[in-house]
Amino acid sequence: MLASADSPHVDALHPSPNIEPRKPGYRPDMLLLHYTGMHSCEKAIDWLARPESKVSCHYVVAEDGTITQMVAEDMRAWHAGQSYWKGETDINSSSIGIEIHNPGHAQGYPDFPDAQMHAVTRLSADIVARHRISKTRVLAHSDVAPNRKIDPGEKFDWKRLSETGIGYWIAPEPIDKCGWSLGPDSRSEKVAEAQHLLRTYGYGIDVTGTLDAATGFVLRAFQLHWRPGLIDGRLDSSTLATLRMLIVGAQTADTMA
């Protein structure tokens, strides 16, 4: 099912058997970025190609920038798991998944090397252009599965991608360590506003006015992507201001692409 590469930037093919057709009516209109969370890229590719793993992805990007394709873009890879974005629950049918090799938070979470980021940027630009994926639909695994995932994490350079037209980025509001901050079980109109804005952008969240556990996970996911300076799942002035700016800017980001 993977006779040739879909992108000219691919260095190697390593087919995975963990694939199936996309559901009828679906096409790739989202790019989802992950990290492998394994000790080595070789082990990650091997695992993604094993039937018993029941996981796969379209591409893997090694630390040195080597790009391996594992699933054809027209097929449904098994990379998102249980997830949600803007009312859609079958993210695998509507997305292309890139696994970026990084051992992950549980194993030291090193920086993403420049060669790797350059490869991710080139590959993402090609995918986004060919499938006409909008800026606001270039997302993290943590965005679509905030209660389960934290990858690719706060060290991933979303700003660098956006500077080449991939994804949407805004400069986060500076953190005010002496300002207000709301934690678990807080009930406030500010919490309700944040929930409404997060839901408007695409996150799976209910507007209750209470900072329950589910809201904490979504706030953490938002911070991992757009306010990486402090990841605590709390609602503070910086998080809310950054979220407000995100929503306002996103209204024109895709039309200006």
Tens of pLDDT, residues 140-185: 999 999 999 999 999 999 999 999 999 999 999 999 988 899 999 9
Q: For the ranges 106-110, 115-119, 176-180, which has the lowest average pLDDT?
A: 176-180
∠ CA(74), CA(79), CA(80), 5° rounding? 105
Task: Enumerate the active-site residues.
Answer: 99
- Yes or no: say if 205 and 150 are a contact pair by the CB < 8 Å rule: no
Q: Give the separation between CA 127 and CA 91, rounded to whole angstroms.
A: 17
Residue 213 clears pLDDT 70, i.e. is over it: yes
pLDDT computed for residue 249 by the predictor: 86
Collect all residues with Cβ–Cβ distance below 8 Å to 239 and sequence separation of at least 6: 173, 194, 219, 222, 223, 227
Q: What is the CA radius of gyration of the chain?
A: 18
Using pLDDT thresholds of 50, 70 and 90, give the confidence band for residue 3.
confident
Q: pTM (2 decimals)?
A: 0.96
Using pLDDT thresholds of 50, 70 and 90, give the confidence band for residue 250.
confident
pLDDT computed for residue 257 by the predictor: 52
Q: Do strands 181-182 and 235-236 pair parallel, antiparallel, or not at all (unpaired)?
A: antiparallel
Handedness of CA 152, 137, 28, 205 (dihedral sign): positive
Residue 236 clears pLDDT 70, i.e. is over it: yes
Neighbours of 23 (CB within 10 A): 11
Using pLDDT thresholds of 50, 70 and 90, give the confidence band for residue 44.
very high
